[in-house]
Every structure is written in structure tokens, then in C-alpha cells.
Amino acid sequence: MSTPKHSACAADIQSQDHNLDVPSPAALPDDIVDAAITWSIKLDYNEANADIKRRFEHWLQANPMHAIAWERIHSLRHSFSGTSASSALVISTMEHADQLRHQSLLKRRKTIQLLSLANLAIGTGWLVRAQLPWQRLTADTSTGIGEQRTLQLADGTELILNTDTAIRTDLSGENRIILLLRGEIMVKTGADMQHAEKRPFLVYTSFGKMQALGTRFTVRLASQGALISVQEHAVALYPAQSQASYVVKVNESRWLRENGTEPANLHGMDAGSWAHGVISGNNIRLADLLAELARYRMGHISCAPEIADLRVSGLFHIKDTDKTLQFLADTQPIRLSFRTRLWVSVGPAHTNSDALL
Amino acid sequence: MSKPDLTLHQEVHALYLDHYGWLQGWIRRKLGNAFDANDMAQDVFMRLLLRKQPVQAHQPRAFLSTIAHGFVVEHWRRRELELAWQETLASWPAPEVPPPESRLIFLEILIEIDRMLDALKPAVRSAFLMAQLDGLTCPQIAERIGVSLATVERYIAKALRHCYTLRFEP
């Protein structure tokens, strides 16, 4: 059915931004369109008698716009023709699609909830350390100080939680998602065998997210960023407030910050050695090593400036930090003083350490 | 080639050089799939070339991602519809399953129907589809779905108004 000439002319003065097959002519008055619809229902969608047809002819002649409205509405009678299939199959398919969409809507909402919770948990920064019990409550899995835990996830991924760590996982959606709320994890991504297509594996932090590109890597949260170290393959970083993504390659470490990424210095320590129960490295500043050891023990380790720049190399066990501290005292010119069981001061061996306290 | 076309081409070409990689990455993050992302990024630039007016975007990336967002939504809608179609076919009695050669065109029509009737309530949509596809009259539909004639006529009127608006008053 052809479009009337005068409406095609009207199309020329319309905005040209619409790239539609049908010209968009000036709008007809609503009441005329409604009248045309009423006639269409009587004539096209019911058995009309002669009297109705006669009254319709009368209406059609009464106003040129009636004819335009009629032509358009009547043309809709044959929309979607071209298939011989019954409406039953189409209706069932549409109803099933409604269901699927409803489910994925719920899933998206759940993800958004999950993510805003994560932002709330770490968005407030370092102070959150004071609120550990609450975080543990909302997290799926957590470890205490000095504790490590290995998880096998349903998709085959192995997740190792380092000391003082809290995570949430959601493997039910189109992406496999880990939220790192606190601490440090090592990820060895699994094959995701139950799914025909391997789903993307994402780790979210308040500083941004990262996608594993078939891989083994560690993520450690600090107050100003997340430190990513890759042991196998690569990981793509996506800062929360920036488009500057970055792919971290094997044996590389990088900070993921809210506004970008930058190279990270591990101060001589190997990333991920904690998963084997040790801090390992070469030429590590003693102050850095002690700060690292402090993560694995309750209480506090203070380091005197005179010995801060001593350099150490090797393996330092983290399972029993008292023993490791004693080992350092035996091999380095340092002396340990326990103010309380939880507070250890490390100072030079030669001076009177009591004077330091 | 007329002058405005040349300008548009140059403009799109410049956008392509500066932002294609970024757009691809943006879409890939949305879809989780590099293969579809490449296609879709191409589609976004093809869409731009079809414009009648220059782009003149002050924030090209915001502009591109807005267009791409529409494609992404469309992509998921289509995926969900295809899945619904396959699963419904699988559960359908064999004699009534359309032959393989007509399934592709059937899917195209489904996509068209989905786009046109998405905003309608399921009952309105079903009544309208019975009228359109099976050629049923309002009294026949009323009998089939067990509601009054007046209700069916109201459903059909609603669907016609909706289709009219989409087709003639975009």
C-alpha cells in the first residue's frame, strides 16, 4: 500500500535524523487516528454488516485526513504476515522470552546490589579495618590474621585467601565474579567446564576491576589501590574512574588505582610466595620485611630507623612469625624486645634497647 | 559524492582512527566476547556513515558509547529471543514444528514482532498475534482466551495504536 503523496512531502520538512524506511509525516490529530482504529476493529477484525460499511464510507469521505489515517491503520492489518506458522508457537516463544528476560533482570539487579555493597565496604578506605566483624559478616568467605584458606570453586577455579582477607563470589551469571573486600587472594582460573563457552572471570575491587586472561595471579588490597601480580599469562586492568585499561603480563606487577594504573615496586619480595607459606626475595630492606611479616601476626612490629635499611635475602616463614623473628635476630645485628606479647620492637643489637622504648 | 557526504566520511574516518580500538574494548567488556565486539564496533561506524547529518560530537567517546549501548541492548534481547525460540521449538509437538528451511525467516519475523510489541502487556500482545497471524476475528479471540468481546476489542485497539505510533510517529 502506497503512502499518500502529501504525507511524503511533509516528510521533507521533518528532521532528517531518523533513518527509517517509512517517511515520518506530520502527525495526525489523535482523535482521527482513534476513529480510524475504531473503524478498523469493526471492519478488519469483525464481520461487518452493510450498515456499518455504509457509515464507514460516509466517515471516510468527510475529511481528507480520515483517508490518510485509514490507509495507515488498515495497512497494519497485515503486519507480521509472511509466516505460515500459527500464533501459538509465536506466543509461546514470546512468553518464554519474557521469562528469560525477567530472570536476567533479577541477575543484573543482584550483581548491582553486590557491587554497591562492595563499594560501601571499601569505599571508606583504610578506616574500614576497624570494622572487621561487620565485613566478615557480609562476606562469603574470610580468613583471620595469620590464616590462609584454599577454595575450590564450582567452575574449577582455585582461590587461595591470604591472611586477613574477605571475598564474595558470584558464579551464577554470565561472568564469573569475585569481589575482593579485604586482604589478598591468589587466583588460578578454572576451565569452567559446565559452560559451553568459557565465561569471563572478573575480580572487582573498589579501585576498579580486572579480567583474567587464562591465568594465575594475585590481587592485594591496600589503602590507595590494588596490587596485581601475574604469575601466568595476563590480566587486564580496568580502573573504576578511567578508560585507561592495561594488560599486566607474566612476572609483572602493577597498581590498579581508581584513576589509572602504574608500575609497582615489590621491594625485592616475590609476589605470591605467601601461597607456599613464605616471604621470599632478594636484598629486601629489613623494614619492608618486618612490615610484611606484621600482616601475619596479631599486634604490632616496630622497627628502629638504625636497622631499617639492613638488607636480607632468602625465605622467611609466615606460619610461625615468632620463629621467623627469632631467626632474624639470630642472623642479623638486631635485637627483639617484647613490650607485650602483641607488641614487638626490633632495634640494633649493640645499643641499649631499653633506652629506645 | 556531494560535499556534506565528504565531510561526514572524513569525520567518521577520523573517529574511526582515534576511537575504534577503544570502542571495541568498551563493547568487549559489555559482551564479554571479542568476536561479537569486533562486529558490533564495525556496525556502530556503519551506522554513522548512514547518517544524513555530520556527527560533530564534542565528546566522541560518550557519543560512540551511547550508540554502542543501543547495539548491546539489542544484542542481548536477540540472544534471549533466540534462546527462547530454540527452547520452545524443542518442547513443541513434532507435527507443528516448522520445517528447517522456514525457521530462519520465522526467527526474523519473531525479532520484528518482538521489537514492535515489546511494550505491550502479554495479554494484549497474544490477542493481537492471534488476529494478525491466524486471521481470527475479535469474537473468535474472545472465545479462545475466555474474555469478553469488549476486552478483546480494547486489546486490539491498544496494539494498533502502539504499532501506529512506532511506524508513523517515530
Nearest to A100 among B25, B83, B163 (CB): B83
- Using the Cβ of B76 and the Cβ atoms of chain A, whether some distance falls under 8 Å is answered with yes
| Domain annotation covers residue B157 | no
User: Rounded distance, CA A186 to CA A232, Å?
Assistant: 12
Residues of A in contact with B135 (CB under 8 A): none
Same-domain check for residues A313 and A203: no
Provide the shortest C-alpha distance from residue B160 to chain A (in Å). Answer: 7
Residue B130 has a pLDDT of: 93
* CB contact B163 to A (< 8 Å): yes
pLDDT band at A235 (very low <50, low <70, confident <90, very high): very high
Number of H helices and E strands in chain B, helices first, is 7, 0
- Domain co-membership, A72 together with A142: no
* CA–CA distances in Å: residue B22 to residues A260, B18, B62, B81: 15, 8, 11, 29
Query: Whole domain around residue A60: which residue ranges?
Result: 5-78
Domain assignment of residue B143, yes or no:
no
Q: Which of B122, B130, B138 sits opposite A95 (nearest CB)?
A: B122
Based on the structure, what is the number of domains in chain A? 3
First to last CA, chain A: 96
Q: In 10 A of CB A320, how many CB atoms?
A: 14
Say whether both A133 and A227 belong to one domain: yes
pLDDT tens digits along A10-35:
333 333 333 333 344 567 899 999 99
Q: What is the DSSP letter of A76?
A: G
Q: CATH number for the domain including A295?
A: 3.55.50.30
Helices (H), A272-315: 286-294, 305-308
Give yes or no: residues A157 and A133 share one domain. Answer: yes
Residue A268 lies in a domain: no
Q: Are residues A119 and A218 located together in one domain of the fold?
A: yes
Same domain, A27 and A138: no
> Is B154 contained in some domain?
no
User: What does the block give as the cell for A23?
Assistant: 517517511
Q: Are A25 and A11 in contact (CB under 8 A)?
A: yes
State the smallest CA–CA distance between residue B85 and chain A in angstroms.
5
Q: Is there a contact between A93 and B83 if contact means CB atoms under 8 Å apart?
A: no
A48-62, A155-169, A180-194, B89-103: which is most confident: A48-62
Residue of A nearest to B106 (CA): A83
Q: In terms of DSSP H, where are the helices of B32-136? A: 34-49, 60-90, 100-117, 122-134
Q: Which residues contact A165 (CB under 8 A, 6 or more apart)?
A: A142, A143, A180, A182, A183, A184, A185
Which residues 8-47 of B have a C-beta within 8 angstroms of A? 22, 25-26, 29, 32-33
Q: Is A346 left (phi over 0), alpha (psi -120 to 50) or beta?
A: beta
Domain-ending residue, one of A263, A281, A312: A263
Contact assignment for B85 to A93 by CB distance below 8 Å: yes
Comparing A224 with A15, which gets the higher pLDDT?
Answer: A224
Q: Which of A258-262, A304-308, B51-55 has the lowest mean pLDDT?
A: B51-55
Q: Is residue B122 part of a domain?
A: no
Of the candidates A24, A33, A88, which has its C-beta nearest B164's C-beta? A33
In this predicted model, what pLDDT tens digit does every residue of B21-56 receive, in sequence order? 899 899 988 887 777 788 888 888 877 877 767 777
Q: Is the dihedral of CA B36, B30, B19, A212 positive or negative?
A: negative
Residue numbers in B near A72 (CB within 8 A):
164, 167-168
Q: Around Cβ A13, how many Cβ atoms within 10 Å?
A: 9
**Mean pLDDT across the stretch B92-121?**
82
Give the distance from residue B144's alpha carbon to the nearest chain A alpha carbon, in angstroms: 12
Q: Which of A319, A267, A344 is nearest to A163 (CA)?
A: A319
Domain check: are A15 and A73 in the same one?
yes
Same domain, A295 and A160: no
Q: Is residue B158 situated within a structural domain?
A: no
Q: What whole-number distance in Å separates Cα of residue A175 and Cα of residue A199?
A: 5
A-chain residues within 8 Å CB-CB of B126?
87, 91, 94
Nearest to B157 by CA among A80, A95, A46: A46
Whichever domain contains A201, its CATH number is 2.60.120.1440
Q: Tell me which chain A residues have a C-beta less than 8 angstroms from the C-beta of B153.
A: 41, 45
Is the pLDDT reported for residue A136 higher than 50? Answer: no
Beta bridge partners of A218: A186, A229
Which of the residue ranges A98-102, A316-320, B49-53 would you say has the lowest mean pLDDT?
B49-53
Strand partners, A301: A344
Look at the block and give the residue holding cell 551469571.
A173
Considering A24-33, B4-13, B136-145, the range whose residues carry the highest mean pLDDT is B136-145
Rg of chain A (C-alpha set) = 34
Residue ending a domain, choose from A215, A243, A263: A263
State whether residue B5 sits within 8 Å of chain A by CB: no
The predicted pLDDT at position B95 comes to 75
In a domain, B149, yes or no: no
Residue numbers of the domain that contains B34 = 1-94
Contacts of A92 in chain B (CB under 8 A): 88, 92
Is the same domain home to A198 and A309? no
In single-letter form, the type of residue at position A160 comes to I
A333, A349 Cβ separation under 8 angstroms: yes
Domain end marker among A236, A263, A290: A263
Predicted pLDDT of residue A110: 62
Report yes or no on B25 lying in a domain.
yes
Give a yes or no: residue B142 inside a domain.
no
* Interchain contact B82–A (C-beta under 8 A): no
All 3 cell numbers of residue A268?
625485592
Q: Are residues A254 and A282 in the same domain?
A: no
| ipTM score of complex | 0.79
Cα A292 from Cα A318, distance rounded (Å): 9
**Which residue in chain A has the smallest CA separation from B136?**
A45
Q: Is A353 exposed, middle or buried (0-12, 13-18, 19+ CB in 10 A)?
A: middle
Q: Binning pLDDT at 50, 70 and 90, where does residue A49 land? A: very high
Q: Count the domains in chain B.
A: 1
Question: Is A41 in Cβ contact with B153 (below 8 Å)?
Answer: yes
Question: Can you tell me whether residue A232 is helix, strand or coil?
Answer: strand
